[in-house]
Amino acid sequence: MVTFLESVGETRSGPVSYAEAGVGPPRLALHSLLTDRRAFDPVVEGLGGRVIAMDLPGFGATTPAPPSIDSYADRVADFVETLGVDHEELTLIGNGLGAFVALGVAIRHQELIGRLVLVGCGRSFSEEAKRAFTGMVEKVRLGGMEAVIPIALLRIFTEPYLAHHPEAAAERAAVLRQTNTDAFVTACQALTAMDYESGASTIVAPTMIVVGEEDQATPPQMAEELHATIPDSKLAIIPGLAHAPQLQDPPRFLEVIMPFLETR
């Protein structure tokens, strides 16, 4: 049983709430737009080391940031500087929104990280995807977080998985209901404006890109384009999984990423 220590740390840009467990090589986990920091709980023990799950700006007790992924990345960088970890040993693991933020950290603050795992990520979004974010923002403004739960669940998990795991759907729906609507809207705006088409080619940290074959939020094509842009990156497409493989199939997710994390 993993024991988590929950804390709120002070950074130069404001408070950051987070939870951590374990000792050893530091692994900083950043959650997606559709989940929260607990989305990595199923894999904490398997990841080994000191796992730190941070609430992104506007989530939990972390203070908000302007609607740009660069701003989110700068907030993460401020937090990293307070952790007192060996930056060369630090692995940044992001899923969805968290993966784009991790990508921003690797571009803007390369000296702060040693390794990068991007789960459900890309260089930028298509116009169709941007319209989807705009649609979710409109739904939330009209009907609160409840209005986007059906869409969100079909992005986090595959439809067959939801049919066989109603408890997972209920758990994720409860998390979404607790999400701050302003934080959700701001994050959608940040993702819509994000463009790392050129910046991704400057990344020097060893990078692994992971995507579920059935990911509708950040489809495999986005991962493939990112893989082609980041020098010497690795790519893994996991059959049958959607946007949050660490939630849908923790053992398979760990099987994919642990050889990369353990490589020296």
Low-confidence stretches of the chain (pLDDT beneath 50): none
- Residue 29's beta-bridge partner residues? 53, 93
pLDDT for the residue numbered 47 = 96
Residue spans of the domains in the chain: they are: 5-124+196-262
- What six digits make up the tokens of 230? 């980041």
pTM, entire model: 0.97
Q: Is 35 in contact with 67 (CB distance < 8 Å)?
A: no
pLDDT for the residue numbered 162 = 97
Length of the chain: 264
Residue whose tokens read 């010497």: 232
- What six digits make up the tokens of 32? 């997606």
pLDDT for the residue numbered 3 = 76
pLDDT for the residue numbered 4 = 86
Cα separation, 102 vs 137, in Å, equals: 23
pLDDT for the residue numbered 1 = 62
Average confidence score pLDDT of the chain = 96
Exposed/middle/buried for 252, CB within 10 Å: 0-12, 13-18, 19+? middle
SS3 of residue 133 by DSSP: helix
Helix segments in the chain, DSSP class H = 44-47, 69-83, 97-108, 127-143, 149-156, 159-164, 166-177, 181-193, 220-229, 245-248, 250-262
pLDDT for the residue numbered 241 = 98
Q: Which of 88, 66, 93 is nearest to 246 (CA)?
A: 93
Domain 5-124+196-262: CATH architecture, name and number where available: 3-Layer(aba) Sandwich (3.40)
Cα separation, 66 vs 43, in Å, equals: 30
